[in-house]
Each structure stands twice: as C-alpha cells, then as structure tokens.
Amino acid sequence: MKITWLGHSAFLIEENGKRVLVDPFITGNDMAPVKPDEIDCDIIAVTHGHGDHLGDAVFISKRKNVPVVAIYEVAQYIASKGANAIGMNFSGTYEQDGIKLSMVPALHSSGITESNFTHDGGIPAGFIIEINGKKVYHAGDTGLFGDMKIIGEIYKPDVALLPVGGLFTMDPKLAAIAARWIKPKYVIPMHYNTWPPITANPEEMREDLERDGIKLVVLKPGESFSF
C-alpha cells in the first residue's frame, strides 16, 4: 500500500490498482504539491464539512465522475452541488470494487458555511480504509477520546493518520497517547504547519511511540510511504 501526503489532512491511498482520496483540500492549501485537475482516484472520502477538508471534493468528483463518501448531512450538501454523493454513518461500511470504507467517530465540529444552504455539517468522522486486507485509519480532525481504544481493537489498522497541530485537534503528546490506544504499526502525522496557529513538531512524539513499538513516519507534502 502506498500513502501519499498532499498536505494538511489530504492523502491519496493506493493499493492493488485502487485509489482513495481523503479530505482533498488542495485549492487554498499552499502545502499541496498538486492541483485539483491533476488528481485521479476511484473514490473520495470526506471526514467532515469544514472547508479545509471538504476542499475540492465536489470539483474532483464531477471531473472524474467518482463518488464522494461522507456522513449523511455532508453527502446531502455534496449532492446539492451535482456531484455523486454517498451518505453513511458510524459503524457502517461502504464497499466499492475491493475498497472498504468504515466510518468511525471523531471528536470535533462539522459546519458548512454557505448562504441559503439548509443542511448542517452533521457530525465529524474518521475512516478505516481497507484495500486488499491492508488498513489505514484516517482520524479526521479530532481530539483525544477513549473510544480510540475500541477503534484499535475492532479494526486493527496498520497505519494511523493522526492530527498533531493542536488548537483545533490533538497535539503531538496527545496524539502519542492516541497511538498507544490504537496500536498501529505506523503513525503518519497530519493537520499541522499549514498555518501558524497549528505549527507543531511531530518529532516530539517519536520517543513515546518507539517506546510502544510504533514507528513514526514524517512525510513532506508530496512524499509517499509504502508498506
């Protein structure tokens, strides 16, 4: 499986010819190494309605005619824009051509700001993304919460993509605690250094993770990790 960080919380996950794009905030993201019209994928997953996660999902979905999977309320919004949207909710699993997306909770908020829009942003979520038996947990924007232990016990992800920027999400120290509960083999930090309020040094968590037998993989935007 190949995991490419596109900056902020955006990732392209590839395995066995399948491609999942998560939280495609490209336009307005100075860290992004690509443009929205350069991305190809089979499915898009959106964790919540904030603009730095919903991002270019509608544009990419309509350009490539691929579905966007999100919590029901966010999916309603996406559908209202003419894109192919699939709404789901916690503990549900959506399957498409060998790709499994299971929705899990996140501890955050999820508003959509647009005039004359009548749907709210629902509840924020994370995803377990499984292809060919390999699993990645994209935690979305989240604070630390105890049910991360349950997510780890049930889904047993190989990789956890965890926010570490603080202020709006966990910081590196809290993310290290989350990793201890989830028990992945690898942690890739995200949602940091996009703007000054979420400046963080993910290396602060390396010692704690290694003590628990977890490898920290720090990527630069555009870099990939394979396992």
Q: What is the pLDDT at residue 122?
A: 79
CA distance 165 to 69: 25
Mean pLDDT over residues 143-160, rounded?
98
CA distance 100 to 98: 7
Burial class (CB in 10 A: 0-12, 13-18, 19+), 130: buried
Residue 94 lies in a domain: yes
Residue 226 lies in a domain: no
Residue 192 lies in a domain: yes
Range of the domain at 149: 2-220
Tell me which amino acid residue 39 is: I
Q: What is the pLDDT at residue 145?
A: 97
Residue 225 lies in a domain: no
For residue 42, the domain's CATH number is 3.60.15.10
In 3-state terms, the chain is what percent helix, strand and coil (to 5)?
25, 30, 50
Residue 185 lies in a domain: yes
Contact by Cβ (8 Å): 69, 54? no
**Residue-wise pLDDT tens digits, 76-105:** 999 999 999 999 999 999 999 999 999 999
Residue 149 lies in a domain: yes
pLDDT band at 113, cuts 50/70/90?
Answer: low
Residue 206 DSSP SS3: helix
Q: What is the pLDDT at residue 116?
A: 58
Residue 227 lies in a domain: no
Q: What is the pLDDT at residue 13?
A: 98
Residue 177 lies in a domain: yes
Q: How many structural domains compose the chain?
A: 1
